[in-house]
Amino acid sequence: MLAVAAVVKRTFKYRCYPTDAQAGELARTFGCVRKVYNLALAARTEAWTARQESIGYNATSAMLTAWKKTEDLAFLNDVSCVPLQQTLRHLQSAFTNFFAKRAAYPRFKSKKKSRRSAEYTASAFRYRDGQLTLAKMTEPLDIVWSRPLPEGSTPSTVTVSQDPAGRWFVFLLCDIACKPLPVTAAAVGVDLGLDSLVTLSTGEKIANPRHERADRDRLARAQRQLARNEKGSNNRAKARSRVARIHARIVDRRHDLLHKLTTRLVHENQVMVLEDLAVRNLIANHTLARAISDAGWRQLRTLLEYKADGCGRNLIIVDRWFPSSKMCSACGAVAASMPLQIRNWACGCGVVHDRDVNAARNLLAAGLAVSACGAGVRPQREPSRTGRSAMKQETPGATPGIPRLRPGEDVKKAPGGCRGGSAASW
């Protein structure tokens, strides 16, 4: 049976080098976008606080038209109207997420701290023969096409941004036909760590380069120089740019490693099993917060999710309370405790385990069991209260490497056991 290509949205990021005139036009657009966003946010907040009146996108769009006719805000007419309308839609999305309790209340954009970006829809740019020309510009942007756009795809949205290091980027949103990779029988459990960034159930360990630690001294010197400079001076602006470039170097190296690692895992394995780590809670430990943030666990999972989805792979997320580290992958016995400093331990059955490899093998067994049992869509945060079991009896040999549970056997004692609703196929 031939695999059917699914149409998905993908964003392609490129470096660009605008001319002085183009950079000035983009800088004015960034400022107008920020101004309109703040005005609309202030208007919506005041309307609700003073009159309990809810204002939506249509009302703020009408306000934008009125603002352009005033003398104080006449400069809004000097830039393309599309990015201004788009920022009102972004504000509407921010309020939607707030009322759905997915995000905090929208905040005002800062000239110094907020992201400098502008979004253009199809009516505000022209993409032809590999050249991109934005509204209010006579010449196309000088873009470094590090990779070609998929054949036959045309950008539906273009976003231009400038990072704190002064680099310019353009993001092209395209609809592409994503064809699944050939099906393979390989499956792997992935245990995330700090000594080793990733430990696979095959026994392979991927070293953690600790990019932030490698540049820590250099970053500290640049930050000290920044602190010594007078606020508002040209030297302080140069020092701030120097600090931003070091941060950008760290981020770029981390992104490069995570992209290469996740691409390799997706191409080599049909099933990948990952633990549902609460990174936000883990970084509350100030001893490990810096190292955890540098590892990029959350981003690694995000990359695996969208790559697996686009390539027809299966990513299984196992509940964070599953005792992967202290369960013996050979006999299924669970140790009473397993402090972090213990990296190797011996089970009562006589098997000596490497902590991380053992955890990866247990994750793989639990993930395959859940995949066979057909558990819920997402991990249950409190599995003991659900009263539901994600287990079913497997025909012997149906799932290689996972023993069948006997009636009355404790799931914690089974290497492939899945606790009630505790793990899920993503």
Both 344 and 198 in one domain: the answer is: yes
pLDDT beyond 60 at 229: yes
167 falls within a domain: no
Q: Are the C-beta atoms of residues 291 and 397 closer than 8 Å to each other?
A: no
Round the average pLDDT of the chain to a whole number and report it. Answer: 85
Q: Which residues pair with 127 in a beta bridge?
A: 132
DSSP string, 232-293: TSHHHHHHHHHHHHHHHHHHHHHHHHHHHHHHHHHHH-SEEEEE---HHHHTTSTTTHHHHH
Q: What confidence category does residue 227 fall into, taking pLDDT thresholds of 50, 70 and 90? A: very high
Known catalytic membership, residue 119: no
In terms of domains, do 146 and 272 share one? no
Residue 355 has pLDDT above 70, yes or no: yes
Q: Each residue of 212-221: pLDDT tens digit?
A: 999 999 999 9
Asked if the structure places residue 237 within a domain, the reply is no
Do the domain assignments include residue 358?
yes
Q: Tell me the residue range of the domain where 47 lies.
A: 14-150
Of the listed 25, 119, 212, 275, which one is catalytic?
A: 275
Statement to judge: residues 280 and 408 lie in one domain: yes
Question: In the Cβ-directed half-sphere of 193, how many Cα atoms lie within 13 Å?
Answer: 22
pLDDT tier at 417, thresholds 50, 70, 90: very low
Q: Residue 269 is encoded by which pair of tokens?
A: 């394995």
314-318/271-275 β-pairing: parallel
Strand partners, 15: 144, 169
Q: Is the separation of the CB atoms in 354 and 365 below 8 Å? A: no
pLDDT of residue 373: 67
pLDDT band at 408 (very low <50, low <70, confident <90, very high): very low
338 pLDDT band, cuts 50/70/90, is confident
User: In the predicted model, is pLDDT for residue 420 greater than 70?
Assistant: no
Model pLDDT, residue 153: 86
Going 320 to 326 to 330 to 333, the CA torsion angle's sign is negative
The answer to whether position 234 is within a domain reads no
Residue 159 CA to residue 90 CA, distance in Å, equals 13
Q: Is 217 a catalytic residue?
A: no
Does one domain contain both 202 and 131? no
191 is catalytic: yes
Structural domain contains residue 256: no
Residue 132 lies in a domain: yes
User: ∠ CA 162-167-173 to the nearest 5 degrees?
Assistant: 60
Catalytic residue among 25, 119, 191, 212: 191
Q: What is the pLDDT of residue 46?
A: 95
DSSP-assigned letters across all residues of 36-87:
HHHHHHHHHHHHHHHH-----HHHHHHHHHHHHTSSTTGGGGGS-HHHHHHH
pTM of the model: 0.79
What pLDDT, on the 0 to 100 scale, is given for residue 389? 35
User: How high is the pLDDT of residue 379?
Assistant: 41
What does the pLDDT read at residue 350? Answer: 85
Report DSSP state, residue 327.
B
Q: Please tell me the predicted confidence (pLDDT) of residue 177.
A: 84
In this structure, the answer to whether residues 289 and 198 fall within a common structural domain is yes
Tell me, yes or no, whether 34 and 91 share the same domain. yes
Give domain status of residue 4, yes or no.
no
Residue range 62-83, pLDDT digits in tens: 999 999 999 999 999 999 999 9
pLDDT of 65 reads: 96
- Cα→Cα distances 160→56, 64, 109, 145, 147, Å: 26, 22, 17, 15, 18
Share of the chain residues as helix, strand and coil, in percent rounded to the nearest 5: 40, 20, 40
Statement to judge: residues 338 and 421 lie in one domain: yes
Mean pLDDT of 87-97: 97
Same domain, residue pair 202 and 95: no
Residues 274, 318 contacting (CB under 8 angstroms): yes
Helix segments in 100-215, DSSP class H: 211-214
Q: What percent of the chain has pLDDT over 70?
A: 86
Does residue 20 sit within a domain? yes
Clarify whether residues 92 and 198 are in a common domain: no
Distance of CA 317 to CAs 66, 281, 298, 320, 384, Å? 50, 18, 13, 9, 18
User: 114-128, 170-184, 283-297: which has the highest mean pLDDT?
Assistant: 114-128
Tens of pLDDT, residues 21-66: 999 999 999 999 999 999 999 999 999 999 999 999 999 999 999 9
75 lies in the same domain as 193: no
- Both 195 and 67 in one domain: the answer is no
Flag whether pLDDT at 410 surpasses 90. Answer: no
Residues 295-311, mean pLDDT to the nearest whole number: 92
- Total number of domains constituting the chain: 2
* Same-domain pairing of 85 and 195: no
